[in-house]
Amino acid sequence: MNNKFNYYWLLILIPAIFIGWYFVSKKSGEPIRYLEYFGPKNALKADDTAYHRIPDFEFVNQDNEKITKQFLKNKIYVTEYFFTTCKSICPIMNKNLERVYAEFKNRNDFLILSHTVEPEIDSVKILKEYAKLHNVNDARWQFVTGTKQQLYSLARKGYLLNNESGTGDADDFIHTQNFALVDKDFHIRGFYDGTNNDEITRLIQEIKLLMQEYDYKDKHNH
């Protein structure tokens, strides 16, 4: 009888504790959970870890402007690889990214970075036309091109979106439906299937969690 009584109390108390913690966290602005870090990690000291970071890069966007890490400083961003002539997964991916673009149109600390995998075809002019096709009218969605070697190296070694070996030569090709979520410190904080509506909903939710994380840090560091 005692055990049964204790079991019922536990059924009541555990949800009550969680709900109480949720409202305390919500009131304080702390996110209800923190996103994990992806990629190889290096232990610096017993209590310190260096997480994988996106390396430096230099591309050109649809407005023929140079895009580097400096442009992305203090911004959370979603990144993808696509090509404008793709008739399979890319239209679905970029239609889904329109949802993300619309959701965060009022945030100056967010953007989308779309890299072409066919730089020999996707010129600045073609990227500009493609951006208009997706109703992009501000800096929150960047379509970039560059050398195939740098684009492909960044996809594999930076964003970890492709684990196949390749040098970015004429026979090399990357075709992935996955997006990566990158924080303001250039760490990868999530991967998502860009063709799946539920995954896009999760992406939007986790961008909000990441924004909360930074808002909470900023609030408590001043």
CA atoms of 115 and 203, how far apart (whole Å): 19
Strand partners, 66: 60
State the chain's mean pLDDT as an integer. Answer: 89
Give the pair of three-digit tokens for residue 51: 């997480």
Give the pair of three-digit tokens for residue 89: 């997964």
What region, left, alpha or beta, does residue 127 occupy, with left being phi > 0 and alpha being psi -120 to 50 degrees? Answer: alpha
**Three-class SS state of 139:** coil
Residue type, 89: I
Give the pLDDT confidence score for residue 49 in this predicted structure: 75
Give the pair of three-digit tokens for residue 8: 């019922």
Q: Which of 79 and 48 is assigned the larger pLDDT?
A: 79
Looking up tokens 């209800």 gives: 32
| pTM for the model | 0.85
Helices 89-103 and 197-220 sit at what angle, rounded to 10 degrees? 40
Q: Which of 170 and 114 is assigned the larger pLDDT?
A: 114
Residue 10 has pLDDT above 60, yes or no: no
pLDDT in tens, 105-119: 999 999 999 999 999
pLDDT band at residue 217 using 50, 70 and 90 as cut-offs: confident
How far does the chain reach from its first CA to its final CA, in angstroms? 54
pLDDT in tens, 16-46: 555 554 454 455 578 888 999 999 987 666 5
Would you say 78 and 113 are in contact if contact means Cβ atoms under 8 Å apart?
yes
